[in-house]
Amino acid sequence: MNTRRLAAIAAALIGLAACGGGGATNSTGVTGGTTGGTNNNACTPGDGTICVQSTTFNPVGITISKGGSVTFQEVQGAHFIVFDTPLATGVSNIGDFSSGTASRTFTEVGTFPYHCTIHGGVGTGMHGTITVQ
Ligand SMILES: [Cu+2]
């Protein structure tokens, strides 16, 4: 009488789940800031906030009250933001913008256009308008 033995080999597969993305931790103390230029900043457009996205301002047009401020908030990309004519009194260009926020206060009524020199021009491409009433 023969006895057979069977050996069973079990193989286990271990899968590793890789998680991509995720928000960078900003330790600079700048609200919404990132030094990587990646799209990791939540931004709610409107109510005085202009989200600076990869090639657009959101919203393109925004209306605030006289004496109020607008805040540009970085979402993605590196930009250079300048105001066009007519210039609002006391409002300076923002210039290099690739992180954090920048606010400007408008003390006179009017319609004030601006654009990103990297992704747009006067009234074209990455541009926007601030209406003060
Ligand atoms: Cu730009």
Complete DSSP assignment for 30-95: -TT--SS--S------BTTEEEE-SS-EESSEEEE-TT-EEEEEE-SS-EEEEE-SSPPTTPPP-E
Query: What distance in angstroms lies between residue 19's CA and the mean position of ligand 1's atoms?
Result: 29
Using alpha carbons only, give the angle 18, 21, 24 rounded to the nearest 5 degrees. 125
DSSP one-letter code for 20: P
pLDDT value of position 39: 53
Distance CA 30, CA 68 (A): 21
Distance CA 62, CA 131 (A): 6
Taking Cα atoms as reference points, which of 65, 47, 50 lies closest to residue 116? 50
Is this prediction's pTM over 0.85?
no
Q: How far is CA 52 from CA 33, 37, 114, 127, in A?
A: 12, 11, 12, 10
Model confidence band, residue 58 (pLDDT cutoffs 50, 70, 90): very high
Which one has a higher pLDDT value, 48 or 6? 48
Query: What distance in angstroms lies between residue 120's CA and the mean position of ligand 1's atoms?
Result: 7
Structural domains in the chain plus CATH codes: 49-132 (2.60.40.420)
Q: Average pLDDT over the chain, rounded to whole?
A: 79
Checking if the pLDDT of 40 tops 60, the result is no
Distance of CA 77 to the CA centre of its chain: 7
Q: Which residues are near ligand 1, the ion (C-beta closer than 5 Å)?
A: 79, 116, 118-119, 126
Query: What distance in angstroms lies between residue 125's CA and the mean position of ligand 1's atoms?
Result: 9
Query: What distance in angstroms lies between residue 16's CA and the mean position of ligand 1's atoms?
Result: 38
Query: What distance in angstroms lies between residue 76's CA and the mean position of ligand 1's atoms?
Result: 9
32 strand-pairing partners: none
Residue the block writes with tokens 């906030």: 49
Query: What distance in angstroms lies between residue 56's CA and the mean position of ligand 1's atoms?
Result: 7
Query: What distance in angstroms lies between residue 18's CA and the mean position of ligand 1's atoms?
Result: 32
